[in-house]
Chain A
Amino acid sequence: MATPHSTGSYGADHGADPHGAGHHDDGHPHEHISPLSMYFGVFGALMVLTVMTVWVSTLGLGAVSIYVAMFVAIIKAYMVCAYFMHLKWDSPFNRLIFISSIVFMAIFFIITATDIGFRGQINPETDSMVLRQEENATAAEAARKAAFEAKTVTLARAPGSVPTGVDTPPVAVPAPAAPATAAAPATAAAPAAPGAAPDAPAAAAPAPAN
C-alpha cells in the first residue's frame, strides 16, 4: 500500500480522527465520522428487512402484498439514504435537493397514474385503448343484450316443453331459424317484427322489450 499503516484494525483509526484534533476553522470541512457499530447495525437491519420482504411475498396476501413490499422497500431506502449516504449529517441544502427529486417523482407518478387510471382499458382483440365513454356504451349494450337474452329464454320455455332456447346460443334464438319448428316460441315473442333483422341483434333487441 502507498501509505504504511501500522495496524489494519479499525480500533486504531480514532487517533487519526480530525475531530480529535480539535475544531479550528482553517477552511477545511469538518466531517461527521460515524462509529462502525452504526454501519454494521444498518447493514443488519437491511438484511433482516430483505428476508422479511421475501417472507411476506410467500404469505399470499394478494393485492395487499405490493403495498407491504413497497413499505418495507421505503424503510430500507430511508436507511441507505440517511446512514450509508450520510444524508442525516449532510447540509440541509443537499437534503432539500434529494427530497425535491422525490417530490417531483411523486408529481410525475400522480399525474400519469391519474391519466392512465381514468383513460380506460386495453381491448385485447384490437390491442388499442378503449376509452371510458366507449366502455360505458359497451357495458350498456351488454346489459341490454343480457336482459334481452334472459327474456327470450324465459319466453322460449314458457309455452311448452321446447328446450331449444336454452341449448342454442341465446343471440341466435330470435333470428334466422324463425321458420324452423324449434324457434317458434321466439317468433311468437316478437309479433311486431316477425323474422325481422335476422343478423342484427341490436336492431332486434327493442322488439321483445316492448
Chain B
Amino acid sequence: MSSHDHAHPEYVQHHFHTAAEQRAASKFGMWAFIAQEILFFAGLFMAYAAFRFFYPETFVAAHEHLSWKMGGVNTIVLITSSLTMALAVRAAQTGNQKQLSIQLLLTIVFACCFLVVKYFEYSAKVHHCLLPGDYYGLPLKDDAGNFKLDAIGNRIFSDHCDIPKSGQMDAKSAGIFFGVYFIMTGMHGLHVLVGIGLLAWIWLRARKGHFHPKYFSPVEYVGLYWHLVDLIWIFLFPLLYLVK
C-alpha cells in the first residue's frame, strides 16, 4: 500500500485499496439491493394482476372509489422530490454545501407532503369502510361468527358505513381489491417513511460537512433509493387510480 496520504483518506475504509475501489464495491451493493427491491415489488404487482384477472369488474368498479386527484397530486409531489434529490446529489458532486442542504431539506418536505396526502386518502377509506378483506363494510356477524346475509345472500354492512352503491362489487372481491390497494400503497408508504429517515440522516451528515466532490456515496445511494420509491409509484398510480 502506498504511503501517499492521498491513498487512504479518512472516508476510505481500511479494507479498500482506493476510494475508487470502495466506491465501485458499495455502488454494486446498492444496485443489488435495488434489484432485490424490484423483485419484492414484482410479487405485489403480480398479485394485483392475478386478482384483476379474476375480478375484472370489481377492479374497474372499485378504482372509482380512489381519488385520482389525490393520486395525481402525489405523483407530482414524488416526481418533484426526485428532482430535488437528483439536484442534491449534483450539489454534493460539485461541492456546493449550501445547495446540498437545501435540496435535501426540500426532498424531505416533499416526502412528508406525500405522506400527508396519503393520510387523508387512508382516512377517507376508513371512514367509508372501504377496508381490506372481510373488514370491507364492517359486515354484521351472528353469534356463531358467521356473516349475516340478506334475502339474496349479500353481507349486511354496518349501519355507520356509507358504502357507495356502485354495482358489480360483491363484498368478497371488493375486500380483495382494497386488500391489494392497502398492501401495495402501504408497502410503498413504508418505503417513503424509511426514505424520510435516511434523508434526515444524510442531511445531518451533510451539515457536518461529511460530503465533498471526492466522497458523496451515501448521498448518491440514498438518492438511488429515493428514485426507486418514485419508480414504483409511477406504476402504482395508473394501475390503482386510473385504469378503467
Partners in one complex: yes
Q: Which residues of A contact B (CB under 8 A)?
A: 1-3, 5, 8, 10, 12-14, 16-18, 26-29, 31, 33-34, 36, 39-40, 42-43, 46-47, 50, 53-54, 57, 60, 62, 65-66, 69-70, 72-73, 76-77, 80-81, 83-86, 90-91, 93-94, 97-98, 100-102, 104-105, 108-109, 112-113, 116-117, 121-122, 124, 127
Picked from B75, B214, B220, the residue with its CB within 8 Å of the CB of A28 is B214
With A27-B6, A97-B31 as known contacts, state yes or no: A69 contacts B46, CB within 8 Å. no
| CB neighbors of A among B164-179 (8 A) | 170, 172
- Contact, CB under 8 Å: A50 / B79: yes
Show 24 residue pairs from A and B whose CB-CB distance is below 8 angstroms, ordered by the A residue.
Answer: A3-B209, A5-B97, A10-B99, A16-B96, A16-B213, A28-B20, A42-B83, A53-B237, A54-B72, A60-B244, A65-B242, A70-B238, A72-B238, A80-B234, A81-B227, A90-B27, A97-B31, A97-B35, A98-B35, A101-B35, A101-B36, A105-B39, A105-B42, A108-B46
- Contact, CB under 8 Å: A50 / B244: no
A105, B102: Cα distance in complex, Å = 37
A62, B60: Cα distance in complex, Å = 10
With A39-B87, A50-B75, A84-B227 as known contacts, state yes or no: A124 contacts B238, CB within 8 Å. no
The answer, yes or no, to whether B19 is at the interface (CB within 8 Å) is: yes
With A39-B83, A76-B234 as known contacts, state yes or no: A13 contacts B96, CB within 8 Å. yes
Picked from A43, A60, A65, A66, the residue with its CB within 8 Å of the CB of B83 is A43
The answer, yes or no, to whether B149 is at the interface (CB within 8 Å) is: no
The answer, yes or no, to whether B151 is at the interface (CB within 8 Å) is: no
Query: What total of chain B residues lie within 8 Å of the partner, measured CB to CB?
Result: 72
- Contact, CB under 8 Å: A27 / B99: no
| CB neighbors of A among B17-37 (8 A) | 17-21, 23-24, 27-28, 31-32, 34-36
Write out the residue numbers on chain B whose beta carbons fall within 8 Å of the beta carbon of A54: 68, 72, 242
A10, B96: Cα distance in complex, Å = 8
How far is the CB of B30 from the nearest CB of chain A, in Å? 8
Interface-centre pick from A47, A50, A109, A124 (highest chain B CB count, 10 A): A50
- Contact, CB under 8 Å: B243 / A2: no
How far is the CB of A108 from the nearest CB of chain B, in Å? 6
How far is the CB of B166 from the nearest CB of chain A, in Å? 17
Picked from B28, B95, B170, B243, the residue with its CB within 8 Å of the CB of A97 is B28
With A2-B208, A26-B6, A33-B90 as known contacts, state yes or no: A73 contacts B79, CB within 8 Å. no
Given contacts A28-B214, A73-B238, 13 further A-B contacts (CB under 8 A): A8-B102, A27-B17, A27-B18, A28-B18, A36-B90, A43-B82, A47-B79, A53-B237, A57-B238, A65-B242, A84-B82, A105-B39, A122-B54
Main DSSP-derived SS at the B contact region = helix
The answer, yes or no, to whether B49 is at the interface (CB within 8 Å) is: yes
The answer, yes or no, to whether B107 is at the interface (CB within 8 Å) is: no
With A2-B208, A98-B31 as known contacts, state yes or no: A77 contacts B235, CB within 8 Å. yes
Q: Which residues of B contact A (CB under 8 A)?
A: 6-7, 17-21, 23-24, 27-28, 31-32, 34-36, 38-39, 42-43, 45-46, 49-50, 53-55, 68, 72, 75-76, 79-80, 82-83, 85-87, 90-91, 93-99, 101-102, 170, 172, 206-209, 213-214, 220, 223-224, 227-228, 230-231, 234-235, 237-239, 242-244
Write out the residue numbers on chain B whose beta carbons fall within 8 Å of the beta carbon of A98: 31, 34-35, 38
